[in-house]
Amino acid sequence: MSLVGRIQDELDRLKMENRFRELPEIGERSGRFIHSGGRRLLNLSSNDYLGLGDDQCLLGKYLGAAGGELARYAMTSSSSRLLTGNHKFYGEIEEFLAAWYKRQSALVFNSGYHANIGILPALSSRHDLILCDRLNHASIIDGCRIAEAAFRRYRHRDYDHLEFLLGEAQAGYRQVFIVTESVFSMDGGCADLERLCEIRDRYGAFLIVDEAHGAGAFAETGQGLCEASGCTDSIDIIVGTFGKAFASIGAYGIMSALLRDYLVNTMRPFIFTTALPPAVLGWSRLVLEKQMAMGPERSFLQSLAERLRRALKAEGFSVPGESHIVPVVMGSNDNALRAAAHLQEEGFLVLPVRPPTVPENTARIRISLRADLSWDDISRIPEILKSVNGDP
């Protein structure tokens, strides 16, 4: 069969299994609402956890404070950071991040995906082992696969299993790397960072924590679960993103000065990519400063999520996790599609998540809450889901 024929067969199979994906029609955003498919819907599918992406006052402050200077901010760097793309704003934001985390150094990347496919391949070799939580994000899995190191997954948040694998590996590898998300994006569950740091110390492992969905959403100053757990100093590399709660684009790593120098010299996605535009870096710095004082909003966000989770469980739904990401497991792809479509008819932009993003028979809708919502905004969701799915 020709390549075109094989592709057509695969697409037909995806359609039969209700796994075929299409790009949604997304229009103008207005505060916590978004236009999709010609309708104005409450936005429960973005990662704008603090609502800063729609903060017109903050945007006005950025544009107004910059004044004429903003016109001189390039909209492109036209080069990698190792050539002419290393604008002074990079140094300013990295100094800010290092001081905020009270660590030696920070390094800004183009995206969380770039960070995750570059850090482990740069640091590890064929003499090393990577131990990865089974439900880590696809970008982390891709980084593990690109690396030359051996790669094994431990059962999700099963730290006894992790220790078993570490015990097996002690004599056979030069270095063992442990990598985890802090908040798991599809389940909304949280890693036990205190336990992981204790394991790291006991086995001499190297610990990398991806705070993509934790940064901005947890702790007094918004560092995420590492701050909330008191583990900031014990994690070798903390990865955070600007593209979620921090309402911008790009990512960062918090690390030692030695590791920073090494990644600058060896991390391929860092070396061989065009740097972020100065205008984006300036905006990211402003958002970081703004969100540091949003501790009350973070507390409200987590309490709102807990209230919704309790209400959904009271209706009999399976709702894993303990964060601002509230997944409702529907089982079949068809059930998840029907639930999402009905919620959209009722004014909520909630999208289905299906295999292979999640395990077979655990298709779900994923509700991403925001600090600028109220209980009245979302209180009807459990009743709506009950009406469309009957007994869960």
> Would 102 be classed as within a structural domain?
yes
Give the pLDDT confidence score for residue 38 in this predicted structure: 84
Tokens encoding 333: 């792809």
Sheet of strand 348-349, all strands in order from the earlier edge strand to the far edge: 26-30, 33-36, 39-43, 348-349
Same domain assignment for residues 196 and 220 = yes
3-class DSSP state of 176? strand
Give the pLDDT confidence score for residue 390 in this predicted structure: 58
Final residue belonging to a domain, choices 242, 264, 291:
291
CA distance 383 to 318: 15
Sheet of strand 351-353, all strands in order from the earlier edge strand to the far edge: 325-331, 363-368, 351-353
Give the pLDDT confidence score for residue 72 in this predicted structure: 63
Give the pLDDT confidence score for residue 26 in this predicted structure: 83
Same domain assignment for residues 283 and 302 = no
Closest CA to 192 of 216, 219, 165, 159: 159
> Would 2 be classed as within a structural domain?
no
Q: Domain with 142 in it: what CATH number?
A: 3.40.640.10
Sign of CA dihedral 291, 294, 298, 304: negative
Closest CA to 153 of 174, 169, 131: 131
Same domain assignment for residues 235 and 287 = yes
Burial-class residue 386 by CB neighbours within 10 Å (0-12, 13-18, 19+): middle
Same domain assignment for residues 200 and 255 = yes
> Would 170 be classed as within a structural domain?
yes
Same domain assignment for residues 170 and 258 = yes
Tokens encoding 82: 């190792």
Closest CA to 386 of 309, 312, 310: 312
> Would 55 be classed as within a structural domain?
no
Same domain assignment for residues 135 and 200 = yes
CA distance 385 to 383: 5
| 8 Å CB contact between 94 and 260 | no
CA-based R_g, the chain, Å: 22
Same domain assignment for residues 73 and 42 = no
Q: Domain with 34 in it: what CATH number?
A: 3.90.1150.10
Task: Give the residue carrying structure tokens 């006894």.
Answer: 160
Give the pLDDT confidence score for residue 391 in this predicted structure: 53
What element of type H or E holds 141?
helix 138-146
Tokens encoding 355: 């295999």
Number of domains into which the chain is organized: 2
| 8 Å CB contact between 208 and 178 | yes
Give the pLDDT confidence score for residue 65 in this predicted structure: 62
3-class DSSP state of 126? coil
Give the other-Cβ count within 10 Å of 58's Cβ: 17
3-class DSSP state of 365? strand
| 8 Å CB contact between 149 and 102 | no
Closest CA to 250 of 204, 281, 223: 281
Contacts of 360 (CB under 8 A, 6+ apart): none
Buried b (16+ CB within 10 A) or exposed e, 135-171: bbbebbbebbebbebbbebbebbebeebbebbeebee
Residues present in the chain in total: 392
Final residue belonging to a domain, choices 265, 291, 317:
291
**Which 8-state DSSP code applies to residue 127?**
T
Which of the residues in the chain have pLDDT under 50? none
> Would 345 be classed as within a structural domain?
yes
Same domain assignment for residues 201 and 88 = yes
CA distance 305 to 371: 10
Alpha helices by DSSP H, 147-277: 159-169, 193-203, 225-228, 257-266, 268-271
Task: Give the residue carrying structure tokens 């390549």.
Answer: 3
266: left (phi over 0), alpha (psi -120 to 50) or beta: alpha
Torsion angles phi and psi, residue 346, rounded to 5: -90, 5
Contacts of 71 (CB under 8 A, 6+ apart): none
Q: Domain containing 379: what range? A: 18-50+295-389
Final residue belonging to a domain, choices 240, 267, 291:
291
